[in-house]
Each structure stands twice: as C-alpha cells, then as structure tokens.
C-alpha cells in the first residue's frame, strides 16, 4: 500500500507540474484585443501615466502615430471595422510570417494611409473616452510603398480627440499594458 501511495503522490506531483507549465505557457501566449492605432515608444517613454498627449501627427517618424491594418487590407471598410468596438485584432496576420496570427511584442504590423473621410467619424467617436489597448512601436520599416511598425509593447489609452483630414490625435495615456504574461514595455 505504501508503494501505491508513493506512486500516486508522484503522479499528482508530475500532474501538478505539467498543469503549471501549461498554464504558464498559456499566459505567455495571451494577447490583448487591440485597436489599429500604433503609438511611438519614444513619445510614451517620457510621459507619466494618466497624462494627456496632445496633437500627435500621423506619419512614419518615431514621434508619429500610425493607422494599422491587421491583414494587409488597406481599404477604408477594413479600418472602419477594426476601429468599431470590439475591434478585430484577432484577424491579425504577421506580414513576415503568415502562419503567425497572434499580435505579440516583436511582431511587425502593416500601416495604412491616413484617413480623411467622414465615414471614420462614427467609429472614432465611439472610442472617445473609452479605455482601449493599442500597439506601441519602436521602429518603422519602409519598403517601397509598404510601411510596417515593430511592436515593442502595448498601451492602454483613451482617445480624447481627433482631427480629420489632418490625421492628428490627442490621447489620454493610462499606462503600459501587459499583453504577454510578463512585464509591460
């Protein structure tokens, strides 16, 4: 009987260890539902949490924000869908590895041109004053007409205002978000 108890005890310990490893792996793989607005790490690194950052222009500089496309579809309809809560970042496809469909730190995300049409006002209005998660980038890659942002982390923000067709946003920076199971940016 003592042998049987030892065996059972070992099986429980091994099962516990395997369960812990599986839970840990799942935590590492988790991702945050994100909205298609890339914010520059360079800008956010010098800002205190719970601060307003005014007049961030759209562009490809390391102080600009970028509009994103999760799938490479740069149509207005695709961006409207991505901006409409709850968003659709779960449709993300890594432009460098089509088998990677989970938006994580270290991935590249394609950019899309700025927005100017009034059909963006309704989805942007629905995001005003709402906590959302957005990718934070630390590098921009330009190849021909293709622009991509390198994801360095994620931030929780609120859209305070936007100006179209100028493509300028003002945000309330709540803080960095941990979307990888580890520490934030």
> Do 47 and 74 fall into the same domain?
yes
Does residue 97 share a domain with residue 150?
A: yes
How many CB atoms are closer than 10 A to CB 176? 19
pLDDT, position 138: 96
The reply to whether 81 and 116 lie within a common domain is yes
Q: Does residue 52 lie in a domain region?
A: yes
- CB distance 114 to 27 below 8 Å: no
Q: Are residues 97 and 133 in the same domain?
A: yes
Instruction: Establish whether the linkage from the previous residue to 123 is cis, with ω within 30° of 0.
Output: no
* Residues 9, 93 share a domain: no
User: Over the range 102-135, which residues count as b (16 or more CB within 10 Å of their CB) and which as e?
Assistant: ebbbebbbbbbebbeeeebeebbeebeeeebbbb
**Full domain range(s) for residue 71:** 32-177
Give the pLDDT of the chain (185 residues) as one tens digit per residue: 555 454 444 434 333 333 332 333 333 444 689 999 999 999 999 899 999 999 999 988 889 999 999 999 999 999 999 999 999 999 999 999 999 999 999 999 999 988 888 889 999 999 999 999 999 999 999 987 889 999 999 999 999 999 998 999 999 999 999 886 544 44
């Amino acid at each position: 009987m003592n042998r049987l108890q030892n065996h059972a005890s070992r099986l429980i310990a091994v099962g516990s260890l395997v369960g812990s490893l599986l839970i840990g792996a799942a935590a590492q793989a988790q991702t945050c539902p994100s909205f298609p607005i890339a914010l520059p790490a360079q800008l956010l690194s010098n800002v205190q949490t719970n601060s307003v950052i005014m007049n961030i222009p759209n562009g490809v500089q390391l102080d600009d924000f970028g509009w994103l496309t999760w799938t490479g579809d740069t149509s207005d309809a695709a961006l409207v869908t991505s901006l409409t809560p709850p968003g659709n970042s779960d449709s993300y496809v890594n432009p460098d590895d089509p088998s990677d469909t989970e938006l994580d730190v270290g991935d590249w995300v394609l950019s899309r041109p700025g927005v100017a049409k009034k059909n963006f006002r309704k989805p942007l209005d629905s995001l005003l004053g709402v906590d959302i998660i957005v990718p934070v980038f630390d590098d921009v890659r330009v190849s021909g007409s293709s622009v991509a942002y390198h994801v360095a982390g994620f931030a929780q923000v609120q859209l305070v205002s936007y100006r179209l067709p100028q493509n300028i946003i003002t945000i309330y920076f709540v803080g960095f978000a941990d979307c990888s199971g580890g520490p934030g940016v």
